[in-house]
Amino acid sequence: MKTILKVTLAFAFVAFANTLFAIGNLKVNIQPISAEKALVAISSLTDSNLKITVEDSSGRIVYYKEVAEPTGDYQKIYDFSDLEAGNYKLSVESDRLTAERSFEIKNWKIEVGKETTSLEPFFGYNDGLLRCSYLNFQKENLTLYFYDKQQLIFTKEIGRNFNVSEALNLSKLDKGTYTAVLSTNKKDYSYNLDIK
């Protein structure tokens, strides 16, 4: 029993350490050059495809670009002269990581906010158990939903826990298609599964 516990704890520690390493893998910096231009520098420890998005405060996308060639470093001078004064968010997606940095255009200058990074949750289904794990770096209020087609059949308020590890026993469900959704304040992550 002690051996099983030690192996389980060792596996959990390695998985946690790998996740923390991945979080530090993607960095986004915005360096204002003038009142209208800024250097955007993205660095990653591994070469990967990047999706770059700029949204305004209402969530409207004002810029989108996919960098098709895998790269570890990306730099570009962005001209924000067409943007109105206000708050914006620059997001970069790389593999399962998303790094965001807010910035504000006001009084003829660009003010850069802090960077936040998030990692998509892990979902897995095996032997009748649905597992979900997530590191809640932003301490957002989380809820787990489970749907049979479009009908909600289970809800669990998880709260603001940092290390989320949930398991649902689905062994007694009928055959069919189901969807699990982990909902954060900002985004919903869904996982579809077929029970046969």
3-state SS string over 55-83?
EECCCCEEEEEEEEEEEEEEEEEEECCCC
Same domain for 94 and 45? yes
Confidence (pLDDT) at 8: 37
**Pair 11, 69 in one domain:** yes
Examine the domain organization and report whether 77 and 14 are in the same domain. Answer: yes
Name the residue with higher pLDDT: 140 or 12. 140
With cut-offs at 50, 70 and 90, classify the pLDDT of residue 116: confident
d(CA 113, CA 49): 24
Q: Do 92 and 130 belong to one domain? A: no
Give the residue-averaged pLDDT of 37-64: 90
Residue 14 per-residue DSSP state:
H
67 and 24 in a common domain? yes
Q: Last residue of a domain, which of 118, 146, 166?
A: 118
Q: Which domain holds residue 182?
A: 120-195
**In terms of domains, do 80 and 146 share one?**
no
Q: What amino acid occupies position 177? A: T
3-state secondary structure of 137: coil
Q: Is there a single domain that holds both residue 109 and residue 28?
A: yes
Query: Domain tally for the chain?
Result: 2
58 or 10, higher pLDDT: 58
78-109, pLDDT tens digit by residue?
Answer: 999 999 999 999 999 988 888 999 999 998 89
Average confidence score pLDDT of the chain: 85
147 lies in the same domain as 87: no
Query: Residue 133: pLDDT above 80?
Result: yes
